[in-house]
Chain A
Amino acid sequence: MTDQAATRTGAADAIPQARLDLIPLALPVALAGLAFLLIGTPTTWLTLTLAALAMGMMIFVIASGLTLVFGLMDVINFGHGAFIAVGAYLAMTVLGPLAPLVQADSLMLNLAALALAALVATFGAGALGLAFERVVIRPVYGQHLKQILITMGGLIIAEQLLHAIFGGDQKAMALPTAFRGAIVVGDLAFEKFRLLAVAIGLVVFLAMQLTLNRTRIGLLIRAGVENSEMVEALGYRIRRLFVGVFAAGSALAGLGGVLWALYRETFTAAIGSEVMVLVFIVIIIGGLGSVGGCFLGAILVAMMANYTAFLAPKVALASSILLMVAILMWRPQGLYPVAKR
C-alpha cells in the first residue's frame, strides 16, 4: 500500500527528510583510529578490535531487549542478568551429553550441537521471561523504586536457585573444535569464535531492524516507545506488546548468555551480574529505548574495555564509566535520544 501511495505522490516540492544524525557513527571510527595510533602494532590493534567487536555484539544481543522494555513501559529490570545465567546453564546442560558432537572434527556436527544448545537456551530464557514478567514485574508497574528492589530480589533468587540446582562451583564451557583457534591470514590472526559472535550479533541486529522498520508489530513497538498512551488510544493493547517484547528480550539475553559463557569458557551463576554493569552503561549511552543507540553503545563500550585493558590495565574498569560520563556531557539523553511525549 505504501508503494501504491508513493506513485501517487508525484509532487515536485522538496519533502522534508529526517536529519540523519551521523555524528555518533563517527565515534567508534575515531576511537579505533586513536587506539591504532596509541597501540602502534597493527596486528595487536586488529586482535583487540576484533575482540571488541565480538564483545560488543554479545553485549548488544543481551542489552537490546532491555532497552526496548524500558522504552515501552518505563520498566527498570535489574533482573535481566538472570536470563543470561539461565541461558548459560541451559546451554551447558544441553552440550554435556553432546560432548561427542562438540569434540568431533566436523564443522557441521559442531554447529548442530551449538545450534541446539542456543535454541534451548533462547527458548528457555524466553519462557522464564514470560513467568518473570507475570510474577515479578506486573505487580509493580509504574513504581520505580519497587521495581528496582523487586527485580534485584528476583535476580538474587534466580542465582541462588541456579546454585542449588547446578552446584556453586565454576562451570567449564568448552568451545567446539571448529571454533577453537584462529584463522591466520599472513601475520593476521582472526579468532574463530569472535568471528562467529560478530556474525550472530549482526544477524540479530539486522533481524531486529527489519522487524522494527518493516512489520506492523515493529511499528507498534517504535510508536509505543515514543507514546504508549496514543498507541492504546488507537485501539492496540500495549500490555500484550510489552509482554511479547519482554519475552523476546529475555530470550535474546539467554542467547547472549550462551555466547558469553563460550567466550569466557567458564562461568558461575554470577555471569549475569558481571555483564549487567556494562549492559546498563550501554543502554544509557545509546539512549534508553533506542536499538540503534544500543548497538553503537555496545561497540563503543567494548572498544574502550579492550583497548584500555591493553594500554592501561589499571583503568580498564573505570574506562566504561568515563566513556559514559563523556557521552552524557555531550548528549544528556544518550547518543540517540528517543522522542517522548
Chain B
Amino acid sequence: MAEPLLSLEGVHTHIGQYHILQGVSFAVPEGGMTVLLGRNGAGKTTALRTIMGLWKPSAGVLRFAGAAIGGMATPEIARAGIAYVPESMAVFSDLTVAENITLAARSGPPDPARLDWIFSFFPAMKRFWHAPAGVLSGGQKQMLAISRAIVEKRRLILVDEPTKGLAPAIIEGMIGAFRELKRETTILLVEQNFRFAASLGDNVAVMDDGRIVHAGAMAALAADEAMQTRLLGLSLDSHQ
C-alpha cells in the first residue's frame, strides 16, 4: 500500500495546561476526501491546528509527503503544500476579495484561468472582486476562505466546518464546489453535518475526547445506521 499523504501517530497536544489531543492516530491517503467527524469539543479543530503548526504537538509523529512536520513552523508547513481554511474563516476584512486572493497566491499574480475556474463555482467572488471582504455575507466569506486555499494548487487542503451557519441552498453549492476540488487535490474535511460529509467523503475518521474512535470507508459508515448512532448520535457514551 502506498504511503499516505498525511499521517498522525500518537499525537498529543496541550493547550496551556489542558491535555486536548490524547494520542491521535489517523492517515489521509493521497487523492479524494477524508472526513473527520465528532461531537463539539472532540478536538477536531485542535487536530487541524496541530497539523498546521498553530499548536505544537507535545508528543507523537506527524508526517506529510514523507517529511516529519511535527516541529516545523506554520509558514514552512504551508510552503510544504498544505492550505488551511479555519473554522473562523479568517478572511482579512479590511482587504478586498481581490487582495485576499492575491496574497494567498505566493508565487505571483493569480493565474487568470485558475481564477475563472474558481469563479465557475463561486461566482460571487467575481461579482464582489473589488469589495472589502468585511462586507461579504457568511457564505461568501466561506467561499473566499476556500478560494484563498485553492488559488494555487496545494497538495492538501484542511477545511474546518465549511457549512457551519450556512443556509441549505448555499450548502448545496458547496457540495458542487468540493466535488470539483476533490478531482485535483486531497482534502481533509472537518464536519458536523453528516449528510454533507457522507455525500462527499471517501474515508472517515471519528474523534471523541481527543482520540480517534473509528476509522474506515465513508460508504461503510453511511450504510450502517447503528454505527452512526453509536459513533455520532450518542458519542458521549461511545467509549466509556
Seen from chain A, the residues whose Cβ lies within 8 Å of a Cβ on chain B are 1-2, 4-6, 8-9, 11, 13, 15-19, 216, 219-220, 222-223, 226-227, 229-238, 338-339, 341
Contact = CB atoms under 8 A, between A and B. Distances in A.
B236 interface: no
Nearest to A18: B132
B214 interface: no
A9 B103 contact: no
Contacts of B198: none
B102 interface: yes
B79 interface: yes
Interface residues of B, number: 38
A226 B98 contact: no
A1 B90 CA distance: 24
A16 B78 CA distance: 31
Contacts of A338: 94
Contact of B112 (A5, A216, A238): A5
A226 B92 contact: yes
B74 A233 contact: yes
Contact of B93 (A15, A226, A231): A226
Given A232-B74, A339-B94, A220 B127 contact: no
A230 B90 contact: yes
A235 B106 contact: yes
Contacts of B115: 5
B90 A229 contact: yes
B78 A234 contact: yes
Contacts of B88: 341
12 contacts: A2-B98, A5-B98, A11-B126, A222-B92, A226-B94, A229-B74, A233-B52, A233-B90, A234-B103, A235-B106, A236-B75, A339-B93
B135 interface: yes
A18 B131 CA distance: 7
B148 A219 contact: no
B128 interface: yes
Contacts of B92: 222-223, 226-227, 230
Contacts of A234: 78, 103-104, 106, 148
B32 to A, nearest CB: 23
Contact of B54 (A19, A220, A229, A237): A229
Nearest to A231: B103
Closest 6 CB pairs of A and B: A235-B78, A1-B109, A230-B90, A16-B135, A232-B74, A18-B132
Interface string B106-118: 1001101001100
Nearest to B74: A232
Contact of B95 (A219, A233, A236): A219
B136 interface: yes
A235 B155 CA distance: 14
Contacts, number: 101
A38 to B, nearest CB: 38
Contacts of B86: 230, 233
Contact of A222 (B94, B127, B128, B135): B94
Contacts of B116: 8
B103 A219 contact: yes
A341 B92 CA distance: 9
A213 to B, nearest CB: 9
B127 A11 contact: yes
B183 interface: no
B160 to A, nearest CB: 11
A235 B112 contact: no
Nearest to B128: A15
Contacts of A238: 75
Contacts of A235: 75, 78-79, 106
Nearest to A16: B135
A18 B60 CA distance: 46
A18 B136 CA distance: 10
Contacts of B54: 229, 232-233
A1 B131 contact: no
Given A1-B102, A17-B131, A222-B94, 19 more contacts: A5-B129, A6-B129, A15-B131, A17-B132, A18-B131, A19-B135, A219-B99, A223-B95, A223-B100, A227-B90, A229-B90, A230-B92, A232-B75, A233-B52, A233-B74, A233-B90, A235-B75, A237-B73, A338-B94
Nearest to A238: B75
A17 B135 contact: yes
B103 A216 contact: yes
Contacts of A237: 73, 75
A212 to B, nearest CB: 10
Contacts of B130: 6, 9, 15
B134 interface: yes
B74 A2 contact: no
A339 B115 CA distance: 27
Contacts of B73: 232, 237
A168 to B, nearest CB: 45
A18 B134 contact: yes
A226 B133 CA distance: 12
B26 interface: no
Contacts of A11: 126-127
